[in-house]
């Protein structure tokens, strides 16, 4: 049966941007020839958006027909020559030739791959296979390391499974109280707000659009969310809110955690976090007396050098209150990138194989090697994490060639000026993208790709629901899908077999590779997704109903119980001092997505938010003698960025904020890494702020 389901509204597909993966119709497939009139209409059958879209979604079709998209491969005649159009044959021959030469001279790991959390499941899977089987390099990681890795490590540790929301998103509406730590869904994914029906508690250094809707806003000092969570748990235990029956029946390790939070009395936590004791008590009372409650974390709590422990502390609080595994209650992580969930399940992470398997597990290697038709001994071991990989490029022991798919690290990596230097030091940089991003502009070869509505593919949204993005429009003749690019390169590297350019064929292989793993897709087919409007993994067989709420009866740990893990607060990697007296935190604005490579090229979005800004408190503005619109320079130990001031009283006195969708902001951020997840400390570093002399 065909999965194409044309209706009068157009082809039923999903938004190209964030992890909510709002359902939409795209109509006017002949619009490309007619001069570009494609129409987006929201779908009502996808619960995540239920008929809603944000500004990004409404304008998503523009890039499909935009003149700024790439329509032919580009390459340089020499390192210093400009990018010029070349044929596909020439482009792929050149990439394969350079790869073979580098590997012959410097070894397999001389060539690395950098993937993306926006790639479809099929592409993420094929990219991991391409690296391990065609390139036989261990050097692959992806930008999801900068997004989801802290929550993933913490939830694996506590629950034995990492699924952003281990319940349907519609369950959130059942909760009487929701605490959101470091998430600003009113800007990042506005249709999420429809699921927040009752009392909202927000933890954020800024009074964001989301915080403005909260009954209680805990305006925490950047980098102290962990201390706050410990303080909340201390109050929950000492004031009798802990659910002893649940703790006894469904968890292990509570006694050690109870002892570890004994020293985190509220007054001490107030001194560290700046959150008044009364507000902490109110938050615990609201959560502890609610019939149903949820604790959710976002990047604000996670993008820290102690991100795993911070999420763990919030999970400990949720467990003490008896929330996870109860319908309408729980802990969840609000995934960010479009396929942030699926992108981390199928093997583009340095330490993972498909099915969310560990690459150092002999049984996992044997299973995946059998699906791939190779000897397990041929599979490389774990590689470097994203920042460590970028940091090693072009160095003595690091990769000399890099293939980038669906990512723009020049804008999005921490300490970005340094990362740009490393990219410039490469012998070979290849970028596959549909626009000339800042990273693509540096490349030796640029490969123009199809976009979201030009091909079939599956995405796994923030609920772990596998969705089908249907093709709605024919791509321009001279662009290729990433799958076709990988097939073309693999053939030139001596791997004719096993690299199909057909998404359904790749998905069927992915199903087999994931079978028996934590993220088991074996029972999910394109037809089934279409019929059931998405299927929740794990779904080990076609007659398995899928798993909307995997923790209801037991947790997927060896003993079926969730694990309390004692953690302790530690300071930020770079604290404020006399030279750099303010905290910088970064985040998103409504009109833009990720590095802005796509949204900055959409007219209405660019008009809505044309440039970055520095949000600073009115008292600081007065001291600097600046008003909104004046230019200021923000400087950290790694670099400077210049932007217009936006004066407010909605941010802490000690903190400034910049959105990260433009080049420059991440020149400031600190690549100090979490020891477990290797997440950089994007969300806090020390800066000074000065009036710009340049007018």
53 binds ligand SF4 (CB under 6 A): yes
Least distance to ligand SF4, CB of residue 18, Å: 3
57 binds ligand SF4 (CB under 6 A): yes
189 binds ligand SF4 (CB under 6 A): yes
Dihedral angle sign, alpha carbons of residues 45, 51, 54, 55: positive
Residue with tokens 């703790």: 247
Closest residue by Cα to residue 174 from 192, 195, 191: 195
Residue nearest to ligand SF4 (CB): 57
- Distance, CA of 287 to CA of 378 (rounded, Å): 51
Of 11-19, 75-83, 312-320, 618-626, the segment contacting ligand SF4 by CB under 6 A is 11-19
Segment (H or E) for 513: helix 503-514
Least distance to ligand SF4, CB of residue 15, Å: 3
- Residue 221 or 461: the one with the smaller Cβ distance to ligand SF4 is 461
The strand pair at 74-76 and 83-85 is best described as antiparallel
- Residue 53 or 177: the one with the smaller Cβ distance to ligand SF4 is 53
The pair of three-digit structure tokens given for residue 492, joined into one six-digit string: 């030139």
386 binds ligand SF4 (CB under 6 A): no
Least distance to ligand SF4, CB of residue 550, Å: 23
Out of 18, 86, 124, 519, the residue judged to bind ligand SF4 by CB under 6 A: 18
Least distance to ligand SF4, CB of residue 153, Å: 25
- Helix 266-273 to helix 277-289 angle, to the nearest 10 degrees? 110
Site for ligand SF4 (CB under 6 A): how many residues?
A: 14
420 binds ligand SF4 (CB under 6 A): no
Listed in sequence order, the residues at least 6 apart from 548 whose beta carbon sits closer than 8 Å to its beta carbon are: 167, 168, 463, 536
Out of 22, 186, 286, 589, the residue judged to bind ligand SF4 by CB under 6 A: 22
- Residue 400 or 661: the one with the smaller Cβ distance to ligand SF4 is 661
Count of beta carbons in the 10 Å neighbourhood of residue 552:
15
- Residue 58 or 507: the one with the smaller Cβ distance to ligand SF4 is 58
Per-residue 3-state assignment (H helix, E strand, C coil) for 77-127: CCCCCCEEECCHHHHHHHHHHHHHHHHHHHCHHHEEEEECCCCCHHHHHHH
> How big is the CA angle at 79 (ends 76 and 84), to the nearest 5 degrees?
15
Least distance to ligand SF4, CB of residue 195, Å: 12
Q: How far is CA 189 from CA 113, 226, 342, 661, in A?
A: 29, 25, 18, 15
Which residues make beta-bridge pairs with 467?
Answer: 459
Listed in sequence order, the residues at least 6 apart from 145 whose beta carbon sits closer than 8 Å to its beta carbon are: 349, 350, 385, 386, 387, 677, 678, 679
- Residue 20 or 320: the one with the smaller Cβ distance to ligand SF4 is 20
17 binds ligand SF4 (CB under 6 A): yes
Of 54-62, 171-179, 197-205, 500-508, the segment contacting ligand SF4 by CB under 6 A is 54-62
191 binds ligand SF4 (CB under 6 A): yes
Of 12-20, 326-334, 404-412, 509-517, the segment contacting ligand SF4 by CB under 6 A is 12-20
15 binds ligand SF4 (CB under 6 A): yes
Of 51-59, 151-159, 413-421, 520-528, the segment contacting ligand SF4 by CB under 6 A is 51-59
Listed in sequence order, the residues at least 6 apart from 1 whose beta carbon sits closer than 8 Å to its beta carbon are: 527
Count of beta carbons in the 10 Å neighbourhood of residue 119:
29
Closest residue by Cα to residue 415 from 670, 144, 587: 670
Segment (H or E) for 680: strand 680-681
- Residue 530 or 591: the one with the smaller Cβ distance to ligand SF4 is 591
40 binds ligand SF4 (CB under 6 A): no
342 binds ligand SF4 (CB under 6 A): no
183 binds ligand SF4 (CB under 6 A): no
CA 220 and chain centroid, separation:
23
20 binds ligand SF4 (CB under 6 A): yes
The pair of three-digit structure tokens given for residue 615, joined into one six-digit string: 């949000």
Per-residue 3-state assignment (H helix, E strand, C coil) for 272-310: HHCCCHHHHHHHHHHHHHCCCEEEEECHHHHCCCCHHHH
Least distance to ligand SF4, CB of residue 668, Å: 26
Residue with tokens 């410990």: 230
Out of 49, 458, 471, 595, the residue judged to bind ligand SF4 by CB under 6 A: 49
Count of beta carbons in the 10 Å neighbourhood of residue 497:
9
Least distance to ligand SF4, CB of residue 52, Å: 8
- Residue 10 or 354: the one with the smaller Cβ distance to ligand SF4 is 10
- Distance, CA of 246 to CA of 250 (rounded, Å): 6
Least distance to ligand SF4, CB of residue 55, Å: 7
404 binds ligand SF4 (CB under 6 A): no
Residues from 347 through 366 that contact ligand SF4 (CB under 6 A): none
Of 16-24, 157-165, 346-354, 605-613, the segment contacting ligand SF4 by CB under 6 A is 16-24
54 binds ligand SF4 (CB under 6 A): yes
- Residue 53 or 673: the one with the smaller Cβ distance to ligand SF4 is 53
Least distance to ligand SF4, CB of residue 213, Å: 16
Is there a contact between 103 and 348 (Cβ–Cβ < 8 Å)? no
Which residues make beta-bridge pairs with 681?
Answer: 670
* Residues found near ligand SF4 in the complex (CB under 6 A): 15, 17-18, 20-22, 49, 53-54, 56-57, 189-191
């Amino acid at each position: 049966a065909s999965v194409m389901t044309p209706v009068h509204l157009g082809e039923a597909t999903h938004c190209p941007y964030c992890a909510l993966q709002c359902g939409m119709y795209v109509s006017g497939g002949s619009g490309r020839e007619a001069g570009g009139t494609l129409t987006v209409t929201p779908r009502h059958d996808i619960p995540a958006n239920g008929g809603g879209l944000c500004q990004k979604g409404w304008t998503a079709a523009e890039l499909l027909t935009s003149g700024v998209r790439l329509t032919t491969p580009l390459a340089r005649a020499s390192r210093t020559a400009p990018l010029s159009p070349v044929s596909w044959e020439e482009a792929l021959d050149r990439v394969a030739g350079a790869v073979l030469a580098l590997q012959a001279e410097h070894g397999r790991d001389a060539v690395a791959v950098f993937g993306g959390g926006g790639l479809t499941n099929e592409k993420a899977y094929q990219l991991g296979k391409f690296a391990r089987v065609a390139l036989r390099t261990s050097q692959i990681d992806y930008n999801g390391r900068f997004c989801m890795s802290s929550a993933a490590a913490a939830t694996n540790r506590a629950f034995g499974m990492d699924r952003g929301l281990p319940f349907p998103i519609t369950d959130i509406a059942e909760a009487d109280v929701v605490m959101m730590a470091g998430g600003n869904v009113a800007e990042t994914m506005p249709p999420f707000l429809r699921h927040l029906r009752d009392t909202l508690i927000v933890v954020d250094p800024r009074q964001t659009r989301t915080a403005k809707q909260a009954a209680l806003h805990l305006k925490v000092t950047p980098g102290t969310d962990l201390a706050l969570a410990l303080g909340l748990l201390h109050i929950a235990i000492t004031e009798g809110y802990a659910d002893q029956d649940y703790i006894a029946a469904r968890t292990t390790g509570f006694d050690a955690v109870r002892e570890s939070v004994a020293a985190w009395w509220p007054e001490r936590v107030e001194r560290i976090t700046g959150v008044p004791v009364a507000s902490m008590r109110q938050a615990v009372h609201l959560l502890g007396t609610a019939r149903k409650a949820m604790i959710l974390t976002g990047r604000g709590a996670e993008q820290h050098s102690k991100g795993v422990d911070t999420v763990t502390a919030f999970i400990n609080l949720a467990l003490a209150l008896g929330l996870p595994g109860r319908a309408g209650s729980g802990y969840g992580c609000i995934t960010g990138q479009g396929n942030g969930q699926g992108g981390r399940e199928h093997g583009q992470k340095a330490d993972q194989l498909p099915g969310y398997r560990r690459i150092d597990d002999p049984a996992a290697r044997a299973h995946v090697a059998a699906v791939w038709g190779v000897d397990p001994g041929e599979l490389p071991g774990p590689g470097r994490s994203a920042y460590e990989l970028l940091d090693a490029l072009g160095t003595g022991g690091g990769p000399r060639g890099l293939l980038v798919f669906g990512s723009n690290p020049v804008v999005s990596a921490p300490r970005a000026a340094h990362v740009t230097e490393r990219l410039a030091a490469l012998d070979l940089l290849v970028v596959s993208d549909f626009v000339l991003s800042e990273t693509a502009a540096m490349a030796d070869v640029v490969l123009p790709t199809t976009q979201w509505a030009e091909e079939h593919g599956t995405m796994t949204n923030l609920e772990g629901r596998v969705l089908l993005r249907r093709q709605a429009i024919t791509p321009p003749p001279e662009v290729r899908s990433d799958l076709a690019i990988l097939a073309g390169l693999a053939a030139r590297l001596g791997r004719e077999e096993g690299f199909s350019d057909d998404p359904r064929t790749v998905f069927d292989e992915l199903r087999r590779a994931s079978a028996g793993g934590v993220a088991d897709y074996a029972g999910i087919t394109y037809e089934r997704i279409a019929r059931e409007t998405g299927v929740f993994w794990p779904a080990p067989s076609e007659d398995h109903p899928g798993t909307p709420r995997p923790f209801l009866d037991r947790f997927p740990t060896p003993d079926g119980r969730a694990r309390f893990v004692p953690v302790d607060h530690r300071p930020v990697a770079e604290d404020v001092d006399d030279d750099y007296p303010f905290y910088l935190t970064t985040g998103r604005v409504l009109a833009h997505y990720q590095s802005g490579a796509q949204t900055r090229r959409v007219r209405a979005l660019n008009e809505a938010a044309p440039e970055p800004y520095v949000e600073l408190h009115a008292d600081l503005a007065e001291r600097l003698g600046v008003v909104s619109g004046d230019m200021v320079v923000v400087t950290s130990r790694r670099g400077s960025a210049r932007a217009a001031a936006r004066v407010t009283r909605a941010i802490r006195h000690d903190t400034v904020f910049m959105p990260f969708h433009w080049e420059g902001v991440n020149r400031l951020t600190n690549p100090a890494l979490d020891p477990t997840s290797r997440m950089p400390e994007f969300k806090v570093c020390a800066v000074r702020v000065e009036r710009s002399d340049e007018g």
